[in-house]
Chain A
Amino acid sequence: MALRTSPEVSGMGHSMKRKEDPRFIRGKGNYVDDMQLPGMLYLDIVRSPFAHALIKKIDTTTALAVPGVLAVITGQDLAKYNLHWMPTLMSDTQMVLPVEKVMYQAQEVAAVLATTRYAAADGMAAVEVEYEPLPVVVDPKKALEPGAPVLRTDKKDKKDNHIWHWEWGDRAATDRAIAEAAVTVKQDIYIPRIHVASIETCGCIAQFDKVEGKLTVWMTTQAPHAIRTVFALVAGHVGLEEHKIRIISPDIGGGFGGKVPVYPGYVIAVAASVLTGKPIKWIEDRMENLQADSFARDYHITAELGATKDGTLTALRIKTIADHGYTDAAANPSKFPAGLFHVCSGSYDLKAAHVEVDGAYTNKPPGGIAYRCSFRVTEAVHTIERMVDIMAHQLGIDAAEFRLKNFVKPEQFPYKSALGWEYDSGNYAGALEKAMTMIGYAELKREQTEKRARGELMGIGISSFTEIVGAGPSKHFDILGLKMFDSCEIRIHPTGKAIARFGTKSQGQGHETTYAQILAEELGIPAKDIQVEEGDTDTAPYGLGTYASRSTPVAGAAAAMAARKIQDKARKIAAHLLEVAPEDLVWEPGKFSVKGAPDKFKTIQDIAFAAYTNHPQGMEAGLEAVSYYDPPNLTYPFGSYICVVDIDKGTGEVKIRRFVAIDDCGNIINPMIVQGQIHGGLTMGMAPALFEEISYDEIGNIQGGSFIDYLVPTAVETPKWETGHTVTPSPHHPLGAKGVGESATVGAPAAIANAVVDALWHLGVRHVDIPITPAKVWKLLREHGVTE
């Protein structure tokens, strides 16, 4: 896309330095825990050591004797106000504090209120709880077997641990196509439970003003407006009405999906503030964060892929068990309990596909949120990319050649997938060929052959993913009934400067910069002259928030549409000032000039001033607009990644030697920021591929519940990513943009896993589940007769 604005204006395509950086590099950000309010009290939470147990007794005597401790709140206390349970975003129910029993290790049991952080922690340690352990269900497959202990005894008539069954696609056609396929491959794939582990944990300050009856909550949320509505719906009966609730999402230290749900700590802090009239601060520590906040993934998948003899893919069939912990607290659009998992036909032109998922309750923390990905899209991409790779290897066809043969072709767009999605645009071969050139694919293949002859283990893995982001069109997309539009409100001041507010909330993506650039592109007002604000429900227009790469596709589009409304009015004002008809004016970013007389013009700044000082009679003064954008379709970013790994036969360590990522997110707003998103996404793709996993032993004890054993990659393990891009604009987005924050997290794990299996295929290895740890590889090598 050619630049339409100067660097001074910095519209789309400029690598403008970020407007948010001056405060962050000085340590002047404003995160929730940075705030202190007069008279503020601190909350700490007592958590269960057992994964499943009856609560026999909670003795608070010792805790209440601790200096500074003011109260201990239990489920019984909340039950008086009917606040001991709350709904999840998936219309299941979750305990705020338990009355009868706990359902997972680290579940909230009671909350201690004290005058200082230290006193609250002392009080927490002094609460004595008597438990009676119950049988624990850890394995979701066993949870669904007849005779398994029923976990949700709170639900009347619930006789098993099955949450829901969901399926999509043409079952009969798929069964037939798989049966008729000349070649089929079948694979069990487990995508383990992981955690976003944003470096800032979750927390809030709840402040209830008893005189005004108004609640203000500063909280780590990616979706402040939806949270306000949820609070009003849940606590309306105790007098919290929506016009008296203000949610403020200040600077957020990373979100990645983990700051979408409402956690019990927030609700307890709100309840405590309403009861005491004091501001209450609750900040979780890292272990609470990893052990109790919503997890991601945890899909047990069985996939089958069919092809003709010559290697044309025909059909995909997937069955999955989704482990949701003790309640379905996923953050999916209401209609789709398995999110957008049914984008699993990926970049390939399949004739038929069918996918079914069954949700199961277990004694684990609730969730099913994303880990920097649009609703279950990583699960989908990992499955199809692994299966396609297995098929290519099975047929003895080069994995790149096999993909190129089976891709949806550029001329097929808009493309209706076998699972019913309408892909907006794509050039899959273009991205893969660019990646192959950049990495020197042919040369690497030669090197691999030579190394294999010498007994060295080198693998080349490809992932050619298609994402589905920008939820979403109101016809199909809502969360708790709230349609998934998003918004932008712009006010141009008389001096030509502007403020723009959005329904989204940046957590590091750089919205203050990129939104300003969109408006600079559309209005010609320099991006530096546009103040962008988000996250305060009292001032910003309503929107569903930032997750699932929806900010650019939805709120970014709203910015363009609102700017175009302003441009329309500006045209009328310019016509008035220049004494010509509006249709006689030509727009270029920043000014209207008279057709055929380019020296007769009015700048947007002239027009803004006139809007307040010399507007046409009969026209309303001012220059403001708001847009609530309902996207006509989702956007489908895509890319091709190629990864080269070397495997140490002695230790089983997988070393990423090179990783080339070609992404296509449509038109680019800020290349510097896009590249930064890819770098980060790749690292969060590598993390679960090689290091991160949360698992549980047979009695529900967590493994991976602190940074001691939950291995977030450091700069040493992280390779030097090589990036590039192609540009295939979205035809329906007003800026041709698609969204980029999550592409790399979605695409990277399969490239790494495929590289590892490629290195080991000749030994007989067909699959390895992520995370591909040295121990796992070492064991595989020994099983397949490889010694040092």
Chain B
Amino acid sequence: MQITLSVNGEKHEMDVEPRLLLVHLIREVLRLTGTHIGCDTTHCGACTVLMNGRAVKSCTVFAVQARGKEIMTVEGLEQDGKLHPLQEGFMAEHGLQCGYCTPGMLMTSYAFLGKHPSPTEDDIRRAISGNLCRCTGYVNIVKAVQHAAAKMTKGGA
């Protein structure tokens, strides 16, 4: 099937198998390998990307469902050599260890903060509950999101 979609602001036109998963299009066709795969049941969230601003698990979205949509992946967070406050927050607060869940956590948090600029800790915990992390125990991920929220509210980033 012929589809057109935009990924991190770049337009792509391609012919894809109808059953091709969005995550495979992102990773294997476009070679943006920051989006990871951690399960086959939509539980782990390592594959989370934004589709028209909404966080989706790209292992459960067909590439053809992204037709005409705007996709944003972890590679799209840094703009003009400037890290997004979430990226800075994860590094500053030690919000990652092996790094495998990190892109999904970043994208879920990005979508969440877009709608909830001043969240409580409970809000954050609920927001990232579709993303599994096996290394950090979540404490520092929560702090990283708070770090970013504070910075974004103050700096208007």
Contact = CB atoms under 8 A, between A and B. Distances in A.
A682 B138 CA distance: 11
B38 A199 contact: yes
Contact of B78 (A26, A196, A720): A26
Interface stretch (A43-51, A229-237, A252-260): A252-260
Contact of A256 (B24, B43, B134): B134
A31 interface: yes
Which of A251, A706, A716, A721 has the most chain B CB atoms closer than 10 A to its own CB? Answer: A716
Contacts of B134: 196-199, 254, 256, 680, 684, 712
Interface stretch (A211-219, A527-535, A671-679): A671-679
Interface string A496-508: 0000000000011
A252 B130 CA distance: 22
A34 interface: yes
A253 B39 CA distance: 13
Interface in B56-83: 73-75, 77-78, 83
B36 A253 contact: yes
Contacts of A29: 34, 99-100
Interface of A is mostly: loop
A714 B99 contact: no
Given A17-B91, A508-B98, A680 B137 contact: yes
B41 A706 contact: yes
B110 interface: no
B75 A27 contact: yes
Contact of A21 (B33, B40, B90, B142): B90
Interface in B12-52: 17, 19-20, 24, 27-28, 31-41, 43-44, 46
Contact of A25 (B32, B35, B91): B91
Contact of B37 (A20, A33, A721): A33
A676 B99 CA distance: 13
Contacts of A683: 136-138
A612 interface: no
A25 B133 contact: no
B103 A199 contact: no
Interface residues of B, number: 59
Contact of A509 (B35, B37, B74, B97): B97
Contacts, number: 175
Q: How large is the interface on A (under 10, 10 to 19, 20 to 34, 35 or more residues)?
A: 35 or more
Contacts of B34: 26-29
Interface in B114-157: 121, 124-126, 128-142
A200 B139 contact: no
B40 A676 contact: no
Interface in A461-509: 507-509
Contact of A199 (B35, B46, B73, B126): B46
B28 to A, nearest CB: 7
B41 A708 contact: yes
Contacts of B99: 20-21, 23-25, 29, 251, 253, 508
Contact of A27 (B32, B83, B126): B32
A551 to B, nearest CB: 14
A508 B96 CA distance: 8
B137 A286 contact: no
Nearest to A283: B37
A71 interface: no
B126 to A, nearest CB: 6
A691 to B, nearest CB: 12
B7 interface: no
A251 B102 CA distance: 13
B41 A680 contact: no
Contacts of B140: 676, 679
A680 B97 contact: yes
B18 to A, nearest CB: 11
Contacts of A508: 97-100, 135
A45 to B, nearest CB: 14
A117 B39 contact: no
Contacts of A26: 34, 74-75, 77-78, 87
A718 B91 contact: no
A118 interface: yes
Interface in A23-66: 23-29, 31, 33-34, 36
Contacts of A721: 137, 139
A275 to B, nearest CB: 25
Contacts of B98: 198-200, 251-254, 507-508
A168 interface: no
Given A21-B90, A117-B24, A253-B98, A714 B135 contact: no
Contact of A707 (B43, B129, B131): B43
A18 interface: yes
A20 B99 CA distance: 9
A286 B75 contact: no
Contacts of A20: 99
A201 B38 contact: yes
A196 B134 CA distance: 9
Nearest to A200: B100
A683 B74 CA distance: 26
A22 B91 contact: yes
A287 interface: yes
B17 A118 contact: yes
Contacts of B136: 676, 679-680, 683
A18 B98 CA distance: 11
Contacts of A256: 134
Contacts of A33: 27, 33, 36-37
Given A33-B37, A708-B41, A27 B92 contact: no
A715 B106 CA distance: 14
Contacts of B39: 285-286, 706-707
Which of B28, B97, B130 has the most chain A CB atoms closer than 10 A to its own CB? Answer: B97
A734 interface: no
Which of A196, A286, A675 has the most chain B CB atoms closer than 10 A to its own CB? Answer: A286
Nearest to B78: A26
A730 B148 CA distance: 39
B101 interface: yes
A716 B32 CA distance: 30
Given A18-B91, A21-B99, 7 more contacts: A23-B99, A24-B96, A31-B100, A254-B98, A707-B39, A707-B41, A715-B131
Interface of B: 17, 19-20, 24, 27-28, 31-41, 43-44, 46, 73-75, 77-78, 83, 87, 90-92, 94, 96-103, 106, 121, 124-126, 128-142
13 contacts: A23-B99, A25-B90, A198-B134, A199-B44, A199-B134, A253-B100, A707-B43, A712-B44, A715-B128, A715-B142, A716-B125, A716-B126, A716-B129
Interface of A: 17-18, 20-29, 31, 33-34, 36, 117-118, 196-201, 251-254, 256, 285-287, 507-510, 672-673, 675-676, 679-684, 706-708, 712, 714-716, 718, 720-721
Nearest first, the 4 closest Cβ-Cβ pairs linking A and B are A27-B34, A508-B98, A253-B100, A24-B99
